[in-house]
């Protein structure tokens, strides 16, 4: 820069004038700074108050279920506290609650970039992804995992347990059984034995995942704390029933209060269980007479069902030989009617097994031909399955 020096001929008066101007300038600067500081302080204070007021109103609306009102309030609050992370998070929650998923996701993603390990933010993102259908499942899994293993400021163990529970429900809802099994096992293992409601939740989830043995074990543990716990009894009965342990199921059901046991699902289980228990010739400690009597009754029930099924004249699908199988089984059963009469079965207990095999064959064939059986036939079919099948 070409230096243009102050003219050396400047008079003392001019110099003095410049000095005074500079002094006034600096004094003015000081005064302006003080004034601006005061103004800025008032401004921030006012904004802070307004932000808090709108936020409180939003909280109130959100708690009372008015998510769209809360959304408007949070937006107002954000106007006055734009960098308030907590507020942004609440706004995102309100957005998600009012179906503005994309906007909520945008806010949460921004928040997540600042706190990548936040359990809360990951959970909200997971919930949004979970609502996005099957194609968003990988994203939901990622966020749920991040939430479970994320940072939770208050009660981290409890929050992780809650998130895992929600995750398990999501997986079950979306038929991701394999992943659900692992998570439910983890949940059950991480549930404190003293946490009765937690144990119940874990047991229910195990039931929903058809993990009958583990569920039965879970509910049995619960029953050690409270032998008459209704939910535990119901869970244990259901699990035992599904495992084919009908006597045990019946016992749990019988310990339940009448009102609880009369709920449609349990009443059905109870009826079937009773049928199974009353029809089953393999129950321990039965007398030979009783065993023979039950086998003969079972044979009679199965033959009636087979006859009824054959007489429906339902044409089997091409290539399906079940109709002939049913007829063959019925024919064989009829041919042995004399051998498997109640008297002969009493006299020759070793004939109970072949007779019951014929019963199971008839029921299986009838199922193939005419669909699921009802009542006593269903009980016999279940006995057959429990004799030949396996359970988890």
- Residues near another protein (CB under 8 A) are 1-6, 14-15, 17-19, 21-23, 25, 29, 32-33, 35-37, 39-40, 43, 46, 50, 54, 72, 75-76, 78-80, 82-83, 95, 100, 102-103, 105-107, 109-110, 113
Please identify, using beta-carbon distances, which residue of 16 and 392 lies nearer to another protein.
16
Nearest to 296 by CA among 352, 376, 227, 349: 352
State whether residue 151 is helix, strand or coil: strand
Please identify, using beta-carbon distances, which residue of 105 and 291 lies nearer to another protein.
105
Torsion, Cα 48 54 59 65, to 10 degrees, reads -170
Report in angstroms how near the CB of residue 140 gets to another protein at its nearest.
18
Please identify, using beta-carbon distances, which residue of 125 and 222 lies nearer to another protein.
125
Nearest to 149 by CA among 125, 171, 119, 175: 119
Report in angstroms how near the CB of residue 105 gets to another protein at its nearest.
8
CA pseudo-torsion sign 251, 257, 260, 263: positive
Measured in whole angstroms, the distance separating CA 50 from the mean position of its chain's CA atoms is 41
Please identify, using beta-carbon distances, which residue of 107 and 246 lies nearer to another protein.
107
- List 118's β-bridge partners, or say none: 151
Please identify, using beta-carbon distances, which residue of 109 and 262 lies nearer to another protein.
109
- Residue 341, φ and ψ in degrees, nearest 5: -70, 160
The CA distance from 356 to 338, in Å, is: 15
The CA distance from 378 to 373, in Å, is: 5
Q: Tell me the two tokens of residue 116.
A: 């990548």
Ramachandran region, residue 203 (left: φ > 0; alpha: ψ -120 to 50; beta: rest): alpha
Please identify, using beta-carbon distances, which residue of 108 and 234 lies nearer to another protein.
108
Report in angstroms how near the CB of residue 372 gets to another protein at its nearest.
44
Report in angstroms how near the CB of residue 148 gets to another protein at its nearest.
23
The DSSP code for 36 is H
Report in angstroms how near the CB of residue 153 gets to another protein at its nearest.
22
Please identify, using beta-carbon distances, which residue of 101 and 166 lies nearer to another protein.
101
Report in angstroms how near the CB of residue 182 gets to another protein at its nearest.
31
Please identify, using beta-carbon distances, which residue of 36 and 254 lies nearer to another protein.
36
The CA distance from 51 to 81, in Å, is: 6
Please identify, using beta-carbon distances, which residue of 51 and 244 lies nearer to another protein.
51
Report in angstroms how near the CB of residue 19 gets to another protein at its nearest.
5
The DSSP code for 350 is G
Report in angstroms how near the CB of residue 42 gets to another protein at its nearest.
8
Distance linking the first and last C-alpha atoms of the chain: 89
Distant-in-sequence, close-in-space partners of 305: CB < 8 Å, separation ≥ 6: 362, 363, 366, 373, 377
Nearest to 168 by CA among 122, 231, 136, 126: 126
- List 151's β-bridge partners, or say none: 118
> Residue 319: is it exposed, middle or buried by C-beta count within 10 angstroms (0-12/13-18/19+)?
exposed
Report in angstroms how near the CB of residue 14 gets to another protein at its nearest.
7
State whether residue 292 is helix, strand or coil: helix
Report in angstroms how near the CB of residue 26 gets to another protein at its nearest.
8
The DSSP code for 105 is H
Please identify, using beta-carbon distances, which residue of 5 and 287 lies nearer to another protein.
5
The DSSP code for 284 is T
């Amino acid at each position: 820069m070409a230096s243009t020096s102050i003219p050396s001929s400047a008079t003392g008066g001019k110099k003095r004038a410049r000095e005074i101007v500079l002094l006034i300038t600096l004094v003015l600067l000081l005064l302006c700074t003080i004034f601006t500081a005061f103004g800025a302080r008032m401004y921030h204070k006012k904004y802070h108050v307004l932000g808090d007021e709108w936020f409180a109103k939003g909280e109130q609306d959100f708690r009372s279920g008015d998510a769209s009102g809360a959304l408007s309030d949070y937006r107002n609050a954000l106007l006055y506290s734009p960098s308030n992370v907590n507020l942004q998070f609440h706004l995102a929650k309100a957005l998600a609650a009012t179906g503005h998923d994309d906007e909520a996701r945008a806010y949460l993603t921004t928040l997540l970039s600042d706190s990548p390990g936040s359990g809360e933010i990951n959970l909200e993102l997971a919930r949004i992804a979970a609502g996005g259908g099957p194609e968003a499942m990988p994203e939901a899994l990622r966020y749920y995992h991040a939430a479970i293993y994320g940072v939770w400021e208050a009660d981290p163990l409890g929050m992780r347990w809650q998130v895992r529970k929600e995750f398990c429900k999501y997986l079950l809802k979306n038929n991701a059984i394999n992943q659900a099994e692992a998570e439910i096992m983890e949940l059950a293992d991480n549930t404190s034995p003293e946490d009765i409601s937690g144990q119940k939740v874990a047991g229910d989830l195990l039931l929903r995942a058809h993990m009958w043995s583990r569920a039965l074990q879970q509910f049995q543990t619960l029953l050690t704390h409270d032998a008459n716990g209704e939910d535990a009894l119901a869970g244990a009965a259901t699990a035992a029933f599904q495992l084919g342990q009908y006597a045990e199921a019946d016992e749990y059901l019988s310990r339940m209060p009448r009102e609880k046991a009369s709920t449609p699902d349990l009443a059905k289980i109870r009826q079937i269980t009773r049928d199974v228990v009353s029809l089953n010739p393999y129950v321990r400690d039965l007398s030979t007479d009783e065993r023979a009597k039950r086998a003969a009754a079972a044979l009679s029930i199965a033959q009636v069902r087979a006859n009824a099924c054959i007489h429906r004249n339902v044409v089997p699908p091409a290539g399906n030989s079940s109709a002939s199988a049913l007829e063959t089984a019925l024919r064989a059963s009829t041919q042995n009617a004399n051998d498997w009469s109640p008297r002969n079965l009493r006299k020759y207990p070793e004939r109970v097994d072949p007779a019951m095999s014929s019963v199971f064959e008839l029921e299986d064939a009838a199922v193939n031909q005419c669909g699921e059986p009802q009542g006593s036939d269903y009980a016999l079919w279940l006995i057959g399955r429990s004799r030949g099948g396996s359970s988890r």
